Amino acid sequence: MMLSNFLNDNFANEFFGDAFSPLTTYNYDSASQVRMLVDIQEFKDRFEISVDLPGYEKSDIAVELEEGYLTISAKNARKEGEKEGRYIRKERRFGDNHRSFYVGEEVTQEDIKARFARGVLTVKVAKKQPEPKVEQNRYILIG
């Protein structure tokens, strides 16, 4: 994928769409607000996505490629501990969440490598050049 294409297509929008939103737009008090936080780096031969997933086990995480979209999902069925004490402050959020990124239809499963260690999922996506579409002339037989 060429850098100029990267910056001009949905891939960049998916990656950087909310990167410059002010932090005040996030509602930390909302129980439904569970968002995967990601860092995305570009290298000569690949993109690298780092996702913070503290409290998740490797078995809770799935990485899927379908129709050019890379989807990272995590399920955390956290069980509440003792009910005796009351929370004075509760900021941590748990639950199911996912993020999807358009990586291009030329990217295959073999082009993606994932590793989970110390609460961070790292996904490496090889850069692929889209195959140029060669238009074929279709001649009509004149009878």
Q: Which two tokens stand for residue 55?
A: 């409290």
For 122, the domain range is: 3-126
CATH code, domain with 77: 2.60.40.790
State how far the alpha carbon of 137 is from the alpha carbons of 24, 51, 130, 132, in Å: 55, 47, 21, 16
Question: pTM (2 decimals)?
Answer: 0.64
- 68 part of a folded domain: yes
Question: Does the pLDDT at position 52 exceed 60?
Answer: yes
Quote the CA–CA distance of 116 and 22 in Å, as a whole number. 29
Residue-wise pLDDT tens digits, 81-134: 667 788 888 887 777 889 999 999 999 999 999 999 999 999 999 998 877 777
Please indicate whether residue 78 or residue 47 has the higher confidence score (pLDDT): 47
DSSP state of 31: T
pLDDT per position as a tens digit, 15-45: 555 544 444 344 444 444 567 899 999 999 9
